[in-house]
């Protein structure tokens, strides 16, 4: 990674940690929903997950998804009916979808407050 790339990643990490990234996303989601003639806040959401293999162990959360036989991590997305990402959570692949769904929904509600 070049010096510029490192500076870019540092900026993104800072935006995520301070919550600015979530605020930008929430604002853009509202704009798109209004442009589509929808209400600002969705009445229905969809939660889905995807297991992803990891080549190296970089980070504390890694496990094996027994259903898919994948060693790595799992990303859980909450989207509205337009497909706009409302929240996401990355966990160990062995985290049950039911447990992850409640965790990702709790973080979404906490961010809205």
The pLDDT, as a whole number, for residue 12 is 87
Work out the pLDDT band at 108, boundaries 50, 70, 90. Answer: low
- Mean pLDDT in residue range 92-103: 80
Cα separation, 86 vs 80, whole angstroms: 7
Identify each DSSP E strand in 1-113 by its residue range: 45-53, 63-65, 70-80, 85-92
Cα separation, 44 vs 59, whole angstroms: 33
The pLDDT, as a whole number, for residue 31 is 96
What does the pLDDT look like over 14-68, one tens digit per residue?
A: 998 998 998 999 999 999 999 999 999 999 988 888 887 777 666 556 665 556 6
Percent of the chain with pLDDT strictly greater than 70: 75
Work out the pLDDT band at 82, boundaries 50, 70, 90. Answer: very high
- pLDDT above 90 for 3: no
- What per-residue string of b and e applies to 16-25 under the rule 16 or more CB within 10 Å gives b? eeeeeebeeb
Percent of the chain with pLDDT strictly greater than 90: 24
């Amino acid at each position: 990674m070049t010096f510029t790339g490192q500076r870019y990643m540092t900026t993104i990490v800072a935006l995520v940690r301070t919550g600015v990234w979530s605020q930008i996303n929430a604002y853009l989601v509202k704009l798109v929903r209004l442009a589509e003639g929808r209400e600002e806040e969705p009445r229905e959401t969809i939660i889905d997950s995807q297991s992803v293999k990891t080549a190296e162990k970089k980070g504390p959360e890694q496990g094996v998804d027994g259903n898919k036989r994948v060693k790595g991590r799992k990303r859980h997305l909450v989207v509205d009916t337009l497909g706009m990402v409302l929240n996401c959570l990355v966990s160990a692949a062995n985290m049950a979808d039911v447990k992850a769904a409640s965790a990702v929904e709790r973080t979404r509600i906490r961010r809205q407050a």
